[in-house]
Structure 1
Amino acid sequence: MRRIAVIAAIAVVALVAVLLTVSLNANKAGTAQAPVQDTPVKPAPTGKAPAVTYYKQIPPPSGSPLENVDPLELTVKNEPVGTTLNKGTVGISLEATDLADPALSATNASMVKLLKDSEDTVLRFGGNAVDRRFFWTSTGEALPASYTGDKTRPAKVVTPDDFQRVAALLEATNAKISLTVDLGHYSPDRAADMIKYASKIFGPRLLSFTVGNEPNGFAYTKLRPADYGIEKYVTELKAYADAIYAAAPNVVISGPGVYDQKWWKPFMDADLPQKKVLSFHNYPLYSCTDTTSDGFPTIPNLLGQAIHQRAASYQQHALDAAKSAGMETWLAETGMSACPGSNQTTKTHATALWAADYSLNAARLGITRLGFHSSMATCKGGPPMSVICSGGAYLEPNGEMVPRANYFGMAMVADLAPGKFLNLDSKGGGSSNTYALQNADGSTTVVIVNKNDPAKAAQTEVSLTLPGYALRGTMTQLSGPRLDAQDSTVIDGAKAGPVPAAKRATVPGFSYGSQTQKFKLTAGTVTVLNFSY
C-alpha cells in the first residue's frame, strides 16, 4: 500500500507540473492576456515638482456664447501598432519643370528656411508637366518645337547645371529628392541619360525615379492613342527600366504613380531589374461638380470623418497590395482636392488641420513617404492648393518663398521625433483625431488634432491617461482664428516651425508625477504634447 501511495503522489506531482507548463504556454500564446509592455512603468516620484512656465494658448474669441464640446477622454496604451513615424515622411511634390527654377537654390534664404522647417524633407519632381513640357538634355540641345506650353505653364529645358544647383540646396537643408522621367515623349535613352546624371550629382540623396506621371490617364489626355492601357504601359515601362538600369543600376524605381489602383499590380508584377517601391496618387476631395457629394470641396467635407475614413481605406488597399509583394508604399502626390482652381477649402486654416491629420493617419497605417503637390509659382494667381508659393506680381515670381496654411500642418508632423505608433482609446472631443508615439528616449508624444471651429467652439476639456508617471510635459501648438481664415495660421504664435523641443513650455495644469493629465485645448488647433517619465 505504501508503495502504491508513493507512486500515486509522484503521479500527482507530475500531473501538476504538466498542467502548470500547459497553462504557462497557453498564457504565452493566448490572445486574451494583457499586452507585454516594452518598458516597465517607473514608480511614482516622491520629490517636489520643479518650477515651470506654462504654455499660453490663444484663447477662444470673446463675445457671443460658445458651443460646448464634449470632453475628450484619452488613454495611451503601451501597445505598439506596428508602424513608425520617421524623419522625411512628409515632403513636397513639385512640377518637373520647377527643376529649372533658380529659386531652388542654396543661396535663396527663404527656400532654405522652408525646407529646414519641414525637416529632412523629400522634394519629388513630377506632375503633369513632366510628360508635356519638360525636356532633359545633357548636351545643350534647344527646346524642340513640339514641346509647347502656355503663358502660365511654359515648357522648360533642364540640364545637369540645374541638378547641380538643386543638389546644393539639398545639401544645405539635408533634404532628399525623387524624380520622374518623361514618358509622354517616348525616349528610354534620354531618360537613362537623365538618371545617370542624377545618380552622379545627387548621390544617396536620390531616392527613386518614376516612369511617367499618371500614365493611366494618357489615353484620356491624348498623350497616347485611345487604346493605350496597362499592357502597353508595362511594355514601355520595361524598356525604360532596362535602359536606366544599364546607366544607373543602384537607383530604385517607384511606380506606377497613378490614381487608378488597377495599375498597381501590373507594375509590381513587371519583370524590372531595379528594386521597386509602390507609389500612388490620391486627392480625397474628388467631386468637382456634385455639390451634394461628401467629396465636393467644402470645409465640412475636408474635415469630416467620411473623407478621413475613405482616404484611410484607399491607402490601406495600397499597403495591402505592396505588403503582398514585399514592397514599401509611398503616397507620392497628394492634396486636398482633385479640382483645379480655388474653392471653399483653399488657403484656409482648415487645410492646416487636414494636412496634419492626413499625414499622421497615413503614417500610422504604414505609408512611409507622402508628398503634398505644390508649385514655385506666385502666390498671386498661382495654384491655391500649393503648400508654398513665391512673392511677386502674377507670373513674375521674385523667388521669395512663403508658406501657406497647409504647409504649417505638414511642418508640425515633420518636426515630430521618430517613434513607434501606439494604440490609444479615445472618446468625445467633438470633431477631433488623436495619435500617440513611443519615442526612442522612452518619452510619449501625443498629438491632438482639434477640428472644431475656433470661431464657435469652446475649449475642449481633456483627460489624458499616460503609460507612466510624468515628470515633464511640454507643448507646442498650431492655431488659427477661424476654419475659413486665410493666411492666418501660426505655430506657437509665429509663422514658423515649432519652438525647439528643449525650449517648449509646460502643458497647462500639468500634474507632476501623475499618470493622468487634465487640461483644456482651444478649438482649431494641432497640439503636440510630449511626456517624459
Structure 2
Amino acid sequence: MARFDSSPGKADSPNPADPANDGQPPGKTPGQPTGKSAGHRKRTLLIAGAGIVAVATAVLVPLTLGNPTAAPPAASETASASAPAPTPAEVGPPVTYYQQPGPPAGSPLEKVEPLKVDVSSDLVGTSLNKGMTGISLEATDLADPDLSGDNATMVKLLKEIDQPVLRFGGNSVDRRFFWTSTGEAVPADYKGDKTRPVKAVGPADLARLKTLLEAGDAKVSLTVDLGHYNPARAADFAKNASQILGDRLLSITVGNEPNGYVFNDVKTGSGYSIEQYVRELKDYANAIYAVAPNVPISGPGAYDQKWWQPFIDADIPQKKILSFHNYPLYSCDGSDPKASPTLANLMSPLMHDRAADYQKAAVKVGQAAGLETWLPETGIAACPGSNETSRTHASALWTADYSLNAAQLGITRIGFHSSLQTCKGGPPLSAICSAGAYPFGNGQMSGRANFFGLSMVAELESGKFMKLNSSGGGLVFSYALQNADGSTSVVIVNENDPEKAAQTDVTLNLPGKPVTGTMTQLSGPSYGAEDKTVIDGAKTEPTPVAKRATVPGFAYKSQAQQFKLTAGTVTVLNFKY
C-alpha cells in the first residue's frame, strides 16, 4: 500500500483486495457489551500529595484547560463551626482538579448510557513497552537533509512520541531508491517525477540520520530494494547501516509488500509468485548475514496473509520478526461501503473489530513461530488524496485506540506511514508534515491530529495490560496497565460524537485503594475538526505525570471512582495506592 509515496491524486498501484478477508474467518472481537451502572459522583475532597481528607473548606485552584466555560466540580461542604480549627498538616496543599472541555454550546445533547469499568488485578499477558509506536517513511526520505539532529522541530516530534522507531520503506524502496557506497550514478531505468523523485542514498546519509536518532532517542528499521534484484548491493547497504547505526538499527526487511508486485509491475513478466519471493529472500538474507550477522531480518511486510507462513518457513538466518501491513479502510472506489474512508466508518465498532481480527491473525502466526510481530506500516486508509478522515480529530481518536488494542493483542512495534512533504498539498493522512511551499517545504516539522493520538499512547509508562470488564458508555474502548511502580493507568477512548453526545457518567472500580488520582486528556470539538486537536489544552505532548491535575470527584482510598468524561476524548488516568 504505502500510498503516501504518491502525489495527492495518484496512486502507485491499484488498491489491493481486502487483506482482512483473505482467508480470515468473519469472527468478531468482543466489543463493549451493553449494561447498566448507575451512580452519583462522590464529593469527598482529596488533598493531593498529603493524602488527607479535608475536614474544612479547601482552596481550589482550577487548572485552566480546554473550554474555559466548563464549570469546576463542587468542593466539599464546610465543616461545622463548632469543630476545632484544622492544622496545616490536616488541610494540606490546595487541590487542582482537571477541567475538561464540555460539549459545544447549543449542542443537541444525546444522553449516553453510563459506563462501568471493572479493572482486575489479573493480567492479560501482554505489555505496552516504550518505543511501541513509531513513524513509517519512504526509503527515499533517507536522502532528505532535514532528517538531522540539527533539525530541532524533528527532534521535538520524536521526543513527543518517546523513543520511537523510524521505519524506512514504502513504495519508493523498490522503485526509486538507489543505494551506493561509492557514489555511482543512478541507473537510467530508475524513474521518478517532481513529487516522487529518484534518490541516491549513501553512507553520509546514514551518518546524518544517526545524529537525529541520537538527539531524538529513536531507533530505526530499514528496507532493502527487492524490485531491482541485487543481493550484493543490499548486503552493502546492510553492512554500512550496521557499522554506522550500531544498536539503533533494529531490523532489515527485504522488499516492501512483495505480494503487491504482481499488481503494480515492480516485477515484470509472467507475474511474481510466493515461491520466487522465497528464493530471492534466501539470496538476500544469506548475503546480508555474511556481512552483518547481528542484524535481524523482518518480513515479509505484506498485506496478504498468505505470504506470512512462507516467510516463517523460509530457511534464512537471523529471522526474528514477522511483519505485516494493514490499512483498515481500503475501499477507495466505494465498492465496499463498510470499508470506504468515511467518518461514519472510522468512528464505528466495526472498524475496531475488523482491525483487531486481522491483528490477532498475525499475532497467532508469529507467536506459533516464536517471532515478534510488528505492524511497521499502517494508517486509516490505503487511498491517495483527501477523504473524510483526512487531518481530522476523529483520526486522533482512532490512532490511540488502534495502537493500544494492537499492543494489548501482542504486537510490539507499530509504524504510521507518513511523509516529510508539506502540510498543504502533501499526503493528508501523514502524521507529520512540513511548513513551506509544496512539495518539500522548509523542514519545519509539526504533528497533525493523528500524531497527537500517537503521543497519548507513547507517553504512557511501560506496563502490563490488566484484564477488565466494561459495559455501557456507547462507543468507548477501555484499557488498563499495571505500571512498574505499582500504580494503575486506565485509558478511556471515548469515541462518542463530541458535537452531540452528553458527558458520560463513569464508574471505575480499581484493584486497590488509591491515595492519588490524576488525569491528562486529548480533546477536540468535532469528529471532522482539522487542526483543533489538543492535549491538555495545547498542541503538545501530555503533561508530565507528576504535574497532572486531580481527577474530578476523586475519592480518597476508594476502589470505586466516579466522574464524567466529555465525548470525543482520550483520557489517561493514573492511580497510586
Q: Judge same fold: TM > 0.5, yes or no.
A: yes
- Local SS of the residue matching 1:199: helix
Alignment of 1:180-195 (within 5 A): 180-195=223-238
Higher alpha-carbon deviation: 256-265 or 62-71: 62-71
1:383 and 2:427 aligned: yes
CA RMSD in angstroms, aligned pairs only: 1.2
Q: Does the Cα contact within 8 Å between 2:503 and 2:564 map onto a contact in 1? A: yes
Using the aligned pairs only, state the percent identity.
67
Counterpart of 2:301 in structure 1 is 257
Which of 105, 108, 115 pairs up with 2:151?
A: 108
Give the match for residue 312 of structure 2: 268
Residue identity matched to 1:92: I
CA distance in 2, matches of 1:175, 1:519: 37
Which one has the bigger helix percentage? Answer: 1
Distance 1:455 1:439, change over 3 A: same
Alignment of 1:195-210 (within 5 A): 195-210=238-253
Instruction: Mark the runs of 5 or more structure 1 residues left unpaired by the alignment.
Output: 1-44
Q: Deviations over 1:96-124 (max 9, x none)?
A: 00011111111111101000001000000
Q: Cα offset for 1:290?
A: 2.3
Q: CA separation in 2, counterparts of 1:183 and 1:227?
A: 15
SS in 1 for 2:338: coil
For residues 132 and 149 of structure 1, the distance between their equivalents in structure 2, rounded to whole angstroms, comes to 8
Q: TM-score, normalised by structure 2?
A: 0.84
1:292 and 1:337 map into 2 onto residues whose CA distance is 13
Amino acid at match of 1:48: V
SS at match of 1:481: coil
1:128 aligns with 2:171: yes
What is the aligned counterpart of 1:92 among 127, 135, 139? 135
Q: Amino acid of the residue matched to residue 236 of structure 2?
A: D
* Aligned counterpart in structure 1 of residue 450 of structure 2, from 406, 416, 419: 406
Q: Identify which of 535, 558, 561 aligns with 1:514.
A: 558
Classify the secondary structure of the residue corresponding to 1:162: helix
Query: Which residue number corresponds to residue 37 of structure 2?
Result: none
Shift of 1:48: 3.0
In structure 1, the partner of 2:402 is 358
CA shift at 1:222, angstroms?
Answer: 1.1
| Alignment partner of 1:216 out of 240, 245, 259 | 259
C-alpha displacement of 1:221 = 1.0
1:322 corresponds to: 366
Task: Tell me how far apart the structure 1 counterparts of residues 328 and 372 of structure 2 sit (CA, whole Å).
Answer: 21
Structure 1 residue aligned with 2:97 = 54
Deviation at 1:456, TM superposition (A): 1.2
Matching of residue 281 in structure 1 with residue 286 in structure 2: no
- 3-state SS of 1:220 partner: helix
- Contact in 2 for aligned 1:268/1:276 (Cα 8 Å): no
Task: State yes or no: 1:485 paired with 2:485.
Answer: no
What letter is aligned with 2:275?
Answer: E
8 A contact 2:420–2:440 mirrored in 1: no
- The residue type equivalent to 1:122 in the other structure is V
For residue 292 of structure 1, report the CA deviation from its aligned partner.
Answer: 5.8
Which of 419, 423, 442 matches 2:467?
423
Q: Which runs of 5+ in 2 are unaligned?
A: 1-49, 55-91
Instruction: Provide the secondary structure at the position in 2 that maps to 1:399.
Output: coil
Alignment deviations for residues 414-441 of structure 1 (CA, whole Å, 9 cap, x no partner): 0000000011111111111000001011
Counterpart Cα distance in 2 of 1:215 and 1:159: 24
- SS of 1:288's equivalent in the other structure is coil
Query: Which string of whole-angstrom CA distances, capped at 9 and with x for unpartnered residues, describes residues 319-359 of structure 1?
Result: 11111111110011000001111100010000000000000
Distance in 1 (CA, whole Å) between partners of 2:166 and 2:203 is 17
Task: Tell me which of 186, 197, 201 is aligned to 1:143.
Answer: 186
Residue of structure 2 in register with 1:19 after alignment: none
CA distance in 2, matches of 1:410, 1:93: 13
SS at match of 2:513: strand
| 1:8 matched residue in structure 2 | none
Q: CA deviation at 1:47?
A: 4.7
Matching residue's letter, 2:152: A
Determine if contact 2:534/2:540 at 8 Å carries over to the other structure.
yes
Per-residue deviation at 1:65? Answer: 3.2
Partner of 2:548: 504
- Alpha-carbon distance, 1:227 to partner: 2.9
Aligned to 1:471: 515
Structure 1 residue 64 displacement after superposition: 3.8
1:334 equivalent in alignment to 2:339 = no
- Separation in 2 of the partners of 1:490 and 1:260? 36
Tell me the equivalent position of 2:441. Answer: 397
Are residue 161 (structure 1) and residue 216 (structure 2) matched? no
Q: Which residue of 2 aligns with 1:460?
A: 504
Distance, in Å, in 2 between the alignment partners of 1:291 and 1:519 is: 43
C-alpha distance in 2 between matches for 1:463 and 1:324: 38
Q: Secondary structure at the match of 1:217?
A: helix
